[in-house]
Amino acid sequence: MTQNKGHVTVIGAGIVGICSAAFLQQEGFSVTVIDRQEPGRGTSFGNAGSVSPSAILPVAMPGMMSKVPSWLMDPLGPLTIRWSYLPIVTPWLLRFLRHGTRSEVERVAKAMRNLMVTVFDDYGAILDHGEFNNLIRRDGCLYVYESRQELDAAGWSLELRRKLGAEMAEISESEIYQLEPALSRHFKLGIFAPENGRTIDPYQLVRTIANRVRENGGQIIEAEVQDVEIGPDGPTALITSAGRRTVDKLVLAAGAWSGKLAKKLGASAPLETQRGYHVTFADPQIDVRRTVMWNKRSVFVNPMQPGLRIAGTVELAGLNAAPNYARADRLMEIATQMFPDLNTASPSKWMGHRPCLPDSLPVIDRSPRYKNTFLAFGHQHVGICSGAPTGRQIARLVAGKPATIDLSPFSIGRF
């Protein structure tokens, strides 16, 4: 691969950083990726695995503010807050909840649809045919509901997604069990989204793209970025745990750890972490054929290479608090409610940090202060869905090419 446009350093070896590196190489840049962990070992590792162009709704939705108290009291609820962290997170949480209006949801959904509608093409551009078919399935997503009332409550959001081009087909109780015979019989209605898909292993997806980056001459360095040296025109070097490294152009894609560095790079953003949990059952002894979401519990179940994974919930506790694996235990309870014959022996539990901004839109932009610095963080719950599309757009920005979509909703200038 010809590389003569200069050198780009990418901070972050999760799905967004690795995809950015791969697309930068296609634009003719040489790349170095720096992360304190090996590629895919951070938040991307435990992703629910959904690759869904219709996963476009923000986290804050109309009516959410009134539901928060009951969620906090429900041990199976989708939200928990560490009480010691509440004074710190309250200003951010109020700002987040204020975005849960219909007009804001429509704005965010339109922007995210524009970004993610090409997700399969974008992964196809950085994976070869065999890798794509090995790692990505396009077999739809099933959303399940216990009653007509429950489905009707989601009616406006379903219509919004349909309006923006997503196919969301209502199906009957019998059709649910034709698609997923192992599901509990208490689900009465469903929505099937045929355009959606999944990866069978988020970790291997990141590793495979990282290997492609290496094969094309890129460097991937395990080191912690400790500081940035700034010259008159922008960053000139990174101070890392492995030494000083000079910088020509810089992409910040460090997920939930981007906030402090972004501020140093002239781009302050109200970044918070919504901690998520998963449980993976290595030997589930049931046949689950595609991604299934239980809307009421806000959880996804995905059959993967490592096993059957259930992922979800939001915990607000910051970057430094120890995991509360009681949240993962709650996911196990929900999993058995969904799939009564599930074998729950020897589960693996995990916690990761989703990088979230109050409006649920990532930042995909150039630093307002330094022309050699680019920003790609804040992908909340849809890192796998938006990783490759973000990588394509960032590479075009670095190359001085116009974006293929309107990036104004993703501007750092909105904060």
Query: Domain of 32: which CATH number?
Result: 3.50.50.60
In a domain, 122, yes or no: no
Q: Are residues 176 and 317 in the same domain?
A: yes
Which of 395, 386, 392 lies closest to 58 in space, CA to CA?
386
Q: Does residue 1 carry a pLDDT above 70?
A: no
**DSSP letters of 237-267?**
EEEETTEEEE-SEEEE--GGGHHHHHHHTT-
Q: Are residues 260 and 382 in the same domain?
A: yes
If one counts the domains in the chain, the total is 2
Q: Span 359-363, mean pLDDT? A: 98
Q: Are residues 259 and 289 in the same domain?
A: no
- What CATH number does the domain containing 279 carry? 3.30.9.10
Range of the domain at 285: 54-115+138-198+271-356
Strand order in the sheet with 225-231: 225-231, 234-240, 243-246
Q: Are residues 187 and 96 in the same domain?
A: yes
Other CB atoms within a 10 A radius of the CB of residue 283 amount to: 12
In a domain, 20, yes or no: yes
Q: Are residues 194 and 207 in the same domain?
A: no
Q: Per residue in 251-302, pLDDT tens?
A: 999 999 999 999 999 999 999 999 999 999 999 999 999 999 999 999 999 9
Q: Span 358-371, mean pLDDT? A: 97
Q: How do beta strands 272-281 and 308-316 pair?
A: antiparallel
Which of 52, 63, 51 lies closest to 161 in space, CA to CA?
52
Q: Are residues 110 and 23 in the same domain?
A: no
Which of 219, 166, 214, 213 lies closest to 192 in space, CA to CA?
166
What are 375's two structure tokens? 């920003």
Last residue of a domain, one of 311, 327, 356: 356
What are 40's two structure tokens? 């895919």
Q: Are residues 182 and 322 in the same domain?
A: yes
Q: What band does 2 get if pLDDT is binned at 50, 70 and 90? A: low
Last residue of a domain, one of 308, 331, 356: 356
Q: Span 238-258, mean pLDDT? A: 98
Q: Per residue in 27-66, pLDDT tens?
A: 999 999 999 999 999 999 999 999 999 999 999 999 988 8
Q: Residue 340 and residue 113: Cα distance in Å, rounded?
A: 35
Would you say 396 and 402 are in contact if contact means Cβ atoms under 8 Å apart? yes
